[in-house]
Amino acid sequence: SAATSPIGGEFLTDCMMKSLESKGVVIRPKYSFKKKEVSPGDYKVVDLDFPNTTDSYRLYCMRAIASDIKESVCRVPDTPFDEVAYANVPTTSYELPDGQTIEVGADRFKIPDILFNPYLSQTIPGIDGFGDSTSIRGLPRMVLDSVNRCDVDIRKELLSNILLSGGSSSILQIKERLEKEVLEESPQNARVKVLASGSSMERRFSVWIGGSILASLGSFQQMWFSKAEYEEHGVSYIQRKCP
């Protein structure tokens, strides 16, 4: 059973941008300045004027930097994020393209934990629309709800074959946390196994790779249905053909 969520990498990038903005950090797009050497080893940032640059392109460039900050400094915590427990966590430095050095503290754990606890997004200034919805679930709950909607006879097999895809550098941390939390909520005799390739390229295109393998099977032609069949018979026909 399919389940979707608006909370993913792009949303976490938005959270990182809004959090930095609330702390007074200004992300300057790379095209908006140049570094001029005023003395050996000493550079000054000079603003460049591009009046015809669109707001959407400026936002795109800023998001690319915020995404790199997220990928560079964020870590998925082993346990649910707690504001008090992480209040004094050591900060991690990141140098922005214009030479500014920023320090990222608790946010480097809070932001990735939104994948598991969407309500945390409500604590970030300027972020709204997701965390207050009861229909938005964390990653472990999505997996369990999806499995539990399937036939009871295949649930154990599904729990032992959870596949993570995507290019995030934190995928292995997500894998460990997801496996742990799904196991805690699963039946006592269930074997939970989360699979994630060590290759970021393979993870990014795993859905397409799997689809191409399935389509190359000789038996696949007996499984598909045409647009004409769907239009003539409807959903009930598909459910009978693909139980």
pLDDT for the residue numbered 203:
76
pLDDT for the residue numbered 164:
84
- Residue 107 shares a structural domain with residue 207: no
pLDDT for the residue numbered 241:
59
Residue 115 inside a domain? The answer is yes
- Residue 29 shares a structural domain with residue 69: yes
Asked if 92 and 190 touch (Cβ cutoff 8 Å), the reply is: no
pLDDT for the residue numbered 108:
94
- Residue 115 shares a structural domain with residue 210: no
- Residue 139 shares a structural domain with residue 85: yes
Last residue of a domain, one of 177, 195, 213: 195
pLDDT for the residue numbered 29:
93
**89 vs 71: CA distance, rounded Å:** 18
Residue type, 24: G
Terminal Cα distance for the chain, rounded: 12
- Residue 212 shares a structural domain with residue 133: no
| Confidence category of residue 215, pLDDT binned at 50, 70, 90 | confident
What three-state secondary structure class fits 6? Answer: coil
> Which letter, b or e, does each residue of 182-208 get, where b requires 16 or more Cβ atoms within 10 Å of its Cβ?
beeebeeeeebebebbeeeeebebbee
- Residue 38 shares a structural domain with residue 95: yes
- Residue 111 shares a structural domain with residue 26: yes
pLDDT for the residue numbered 206:
80
| Confidence category of residue 243, pLDDT binned at 50, 70, 90 | low
- Residue 44 shares a structural domain with residue 96: yes
Number of domains in the chain: 2
- Residue 44 shares a structural domain with residue 124: yes
| Confidence category of residue 163, pLDDT binned at 50, 70, 90 | confident
Of 104, 101, 96, nearest to 73 by C-alpha is 104
Instruction: Please give the residue range of the domain that contains residue 32.
Output: 9-195
Domain of 106, CATH number, reads: 3.90.640.10
Share of the chain above pLDDT 70, in %: 91
- Residue 85 shares a structural domain with residue 140: yes
**239 vs 52: CA distance, rounded Å:** 53
Q: Which residues pair with residue 37 across a beta bridge?
A: 43
pTM for this model (two decimals): 0.80
**213 vs 86: CA distance, rounded Å:** 45
Q: If you average pLDDT over each of 127-136, 151-160, 162-171, which comes out highest?
A: 151-160
What three-state secondary structure class fits 33? Answer: strand
